[in-house]
Structure 1
Amino acid sequence: MDSARRERARRFVGLHREGCFLLPNAWDVGSARVLEAAGFPAVATTSAGVAFSLGRPDHAFFAEQAAEDRVDRATMLRRVREIADGIRVPLSADLEDGYGETPKTVAETITMTLAAGAAGGNIEDFTGSRERPLYEPELAADRIRAARAAVDASGEPFVLVGRTDGLLVGGTLDDCVARANAYLAAGADCAFVPGAADAATIGTLVREIDGPLNVVMGLTGNALTLDDLRELGVRRVTVGGSIARAIYGHLVTAARELADKGTFSYADAQIPQDELNRLFTPSADRPGT
């Protein structure tokens, strides 16, 4: 890791020590630069957005998608590298389940992610199997422990996030708290519990989890604001694939207007060509230097 990237990674680690910050999710270099230009201190990837941009489905239950349709590790990490190379703020990577069950595979994924230039990454406990939707707690913690060992062996700053998908697969809040604390004890720097969207649930997680908490907004148009989440004690807020899904929503609307009406009002909201050219032209005065 070069010195400039190492300094960005150190800044990213620092963001998790106090306060609350918003970490928006991009899916390619262009979307990441838009978020960077808006002034965010860091950007994350969204596995869903990356998959959609490749015409592929996001990681889901195996019964609902063929294994060959899932974006593989090499493809995902190529995109991570492209984004990390294309922005001047830290990048955190959505690494799904680490692209394999064994702790060894998860450790390899973390090592590859560091080499791709990311300053952080999530490892989740979702398996893709309806019969066994989450990895067993002991194995899930071992996977985080192996990820931590890979980070430590690198000697580089990196924010490791332990994510439990318990609420998304019908699990209990108590189980999510237990898993999150086990992942923190195994070496995660931050816990992530997607599916927590109301103040009461989030407040309980903040109180009962022994470390920084990430929550994801935008999944259902939740009414909570960043100020609300800051007051609740949340450390980090992401938006998952919601920006990508909103963009694809506009695309579908434009396609339907063209196909059904033969009109072009969708173009009224487009960004001028010169503005996009300026945004996407590399220059020394881009934010994040």
Structure 2
Amino acid sequence: MKSQYEKAVLFKKLHDEKSTFIIPNPWDIASTKILAHFGFKALATSSAAHSFSQGVADNQLPIDKVLQHLQEIAAVTDLPVSADLGNGFYDTPEKIFETIKKAAKTGIVGASIEDVNSKIAYPLEFATERITAAVEASRKLDFPFILTARADNYFIGKTDIKDTIKRLQAYQDAGADVLFAPGIKTLEDIQSILHEIDKPLNVMMGIKGSNLNFDNLSNSGVTRISLGASLYRNAMTTFIETIKGINQNGKFDFADESISANDLIKLSFKKN
């Protein structure tokens, strides 16, 4: 198994190379191993997918449970793992500093911090102070740590591209390594952001209302494409539709299309 330092170097190199890569989001050990099997270069946890799998809403799990989850994911793969730390579990910059230091001990090599608390965006100056603290904590580690700063206003229904760009620029100036505005759907908005920033941009796909593909994003200059909780939601969609079919017609022929137990074992029980 690669060391945390080796994973960190690989992760940094992915961002330095300037080419586009997909960073999908597992929610448990099995999904981590399956994604690694299919040749992705890095993984990122999803706070939403993990929370949903535990039967609670996003950002409702305590920090100790999330840290345990991060440790489990990072321990079973040679791929670099970045953590979705939500809003950092706390408001103050001092606490955000501690969150990054604690999370780095789990084996992850990067993390993202949101600029909202529930559905309310932090004032820009305060949000920037939080990112500054996260950057300071990451720079004190003994391995390269990729800090992603998120501008979440589109995610909370404030579709103001000028405000998004203003926030991302402030986080860039604070030292963030990667910038991320989840909820952006159009190529026009993505290009507007890229025109105004100098750091790698992460774009989330797997959201309704966007028909963009890898080539669109790569040709535009997007560095990283994440999938958020969409893989988990897609898996649950199949699960729910199967249950509905059983209830409605009493048939069990869904098994004819299911992956075999042996094939699943080959994918999720092997070391990656």
Q: TM-score range by the shorter chain?
A: over 0.9
Q: Which residue of 2 aligns with 1:62?
A: none
Instruction: Give unmatched runs, 5+ long, in structure 1.
Output: 60-69
Q: Distance in 2 between matches of 1:72 and 1:221?
A: 32
Q: Is the 8 A contact 1:160 1:188 kept in 2?
A: yes
Q: Which amino acid aligns with 1:87?
A: T
Specify which of 182, 189, 200 is matched with residue 177 of structure 2.
189
The alignment partner of 2:13 has SS state of: helix
- What are the superposed Cα offsets for residues 48-86 of structure 1, whole Å, 9 maximum, x if unpaired? 110111111113xxxxxxxxxx11111111111100001
Shift of 1:3: 6.7
Q: Which amino acid aligns with 1:99?
A: F
After TM superposition, the structure 1 = structure 2 runs for residues 14-53 of structure 1, keeping only pairs within 5 Å, are 14-17=13-16, 18-53=18-53
Q: Which residue of 1 aligns with 2:189?
A: 201
Q: Distance in 1 between matches of 2:91 and 2:102?
A: 16
4+ residue segments displaced more than 6 Å: none
Q: Percent identity?
A: 35
1:234 aligns with 2:222: yes
Query: What is the root-mean-square deviation in Å for CA atoms of aligned residues?
Result: 1.4
- What are the superposed Cα offsets for residues 109-163 of structure 1, whole Å, 9 maximum, x if unpaired? 111111011011000101114xxx1011111111111111111112221110000
Q: Is the 8 A contact 1:27 1:53 kept in 2?
A: yes
After TM superposition, the structure 1 = structure 2 runs for residues 66-105 of structure 1, keeping only pairs within 5 Å, are 70-105=60-95
| Count of aligned pairs between the two proteins | 270
Q: Is the 8 A contact 2:32 2:77 kept in 1?
A: yes
Q: Which amino acid aligns with 1:28?
A: D
Q: Distance in 1 between matches of 2:13 and 2:209?
A: 29
Q: Which residue of 1 aligns with 2:124?
A: 137
Q: Distance in 2 between matches of 1:190 and 1:198?
A: 20
Shift of 1:221: 5.8
Instruction: Give unmatched runs, 5+ long, in structure 2.
Output: none
Q: Is the 8 A contact 1:214 1:237 kept in 2?
A: yes
Q: Is the 8 A contact 1:29 1:83 kept in 2?
A: yes
Shift of 1:268: 2.4
Shift of 1:198: 1.0
1:166 aligns with 2:165: no
Q: Which amino acid aligns with 2:14?
A: L
Q: Distance in 2 between matches of 1:46 and 1:3?
A: 22
Q: Is the 8 A contact 2:110 2:148 kept in 1?
A: yes
- TM-score (norm: length of structure 2): 0.95
Q: Is the 8 A contact 1:29 1:87 kept in 2?
A: no
1:151 aligns with 2:138: yes
Identify the range of structure 1 (166-175 vs 20-29) with the bigger mean alpha-carbon deviation. Answer: 166-175
Q: Distance in 2 between matches of 1:8 and 1:87?
A: 10
Q: Distance in 2 between matches of 1:266 and 1:201?
A: 41
- What are the superposed Cα offsets for residues 179-199 of structure 1, whole Å, 9 maximum, x if unpaired? 001111111101001111111
Q: Distance in 2 between matches of 1:192 and 1:125?
A: 11
- TM-score (norm: length of structure 1): 0.90
Q: Distance in 2 between matches of 1:278 and 1:212?
A: 35
Cα 1:221–1:80 change in 2 (3 A) is farther
Q: Is the 8 A contact 2:80 2:108 kept in 1?
A: yes
